[in-house]
A and B are shown apart, each in its own frame.
Chain A
Amino acid sequence: MSRAQPRRDALWMGAAIAVLLVALLSSRWWLGDTPGQMHFDARLAAPSLDHWLGTDALGRDLWARTLAGLSLSIGVGSLAALIGTFIALGMALLAMLGPRFDALVALVIDTLLSVPHLILLLLIAFALGGGTQAVIIAVAVTHWPRLARLLRAELLQLRHAPYIAMSRALGKSQCFVMVYHYLPQVLPQCVVGALLLFPHAILHEAALTFLGVGLDPSQPAIGLLLADAMRYLSSGVWWLGLFPGLGLLLVVLSLERLASHWRHAL
Chain B
Amino acid sequence: MLNAYRLHHAFADQTAVLDNVSLSLEAGEWLGLSGHSGAGKSTLGQLLAGHLAPQAGTIEVDGEALPRSGLQPVQWLPQAPELSVNPRWRVKRILEEAWTPPAELREAFGIEPGWLNRYPGALSGGELQRVCVLRALAPGVRCLVADEISSMLDPLTQLALWQALREVVDERRLGVLVISHDAALLERLCPRQLTLSEGRLSPSVRHGAQSA
Contact = CB atoms under 8 A, between A and B. Distances in A.
Interface of A: 161-163, 165-173, 181, 184-185
B84 A171 contact: no
B98 interface: yes
B71 A170 contact: yes
Interface string B43-87: 000000111000000000000000001111001101010011110
Given A165-B51, A185-B88, A171 B138 contact: yes
A62 B31 CA distance: 84
A165 B72 CA distance: 11
Contact of B98 (A162, A163, A170): A170
A169 B97 contact: no
Contacts of A171: 69-72, 98, 138, 140
Interface in B73-132: 75-76, 78, 80, 83-86, 88, 97-98
B84 A163 contact: yes
5 closest cross-chain pairs (CB), A and B:
A171-B71, A170-B98, A169-B72, A162-B83, A162-B84
Nearest to A164: B86
Contacts of B71: 169-171
Contacts of A162: 78, 80, 83-84
Contacts of B136: 170
Point out which of B51, B80, B84, B88 has the most chain A C-beta atoms below 10 A from its C-beta.
B84
Interface of B: 49-51, 69-72, 75-76, 78, 80, 83-86, 88, 97-98, 135-136, 138, 140
Identify the interface centre among B71, B78, B86, B135: most chain A CB within 10 Å of its CB.
B86
A183 B73 CA distance: 28
A173 B138 CA distance: 16
7 contacts: A166-B84, A169-B50, A169-B51, A170-B98, A171-B71, A171-B140, A173-B69
B86 A181 contact: yes
Contacts of B98: 170-172
A52 B88 CA distance: 52
B42 to A, nearest CB: 11
Nearest to A161: B83
Contacts of A167: 86, 97
Contacts of A170: 71-72, 75, 97-98, 135-136, 138
A238 B56 CA distance: 78
Given A163-B85, A170-B97, A181-B86, 12 more contacts: A162-B83, A166-B85, A169-B51, A169-B72, A169-B75, A170-B98, A171-B72, A171-B138, A171-B140, A172-B97, A172-B98, A173-B69
Nearest to A169: B72
A153 B126 CA distance: 32
Contacts of A172: 97-98
Nearest to A167: B97
Contacts of A165: 51
Contacts of A166: 84-85
Contacts of B97: 167, 170, 172
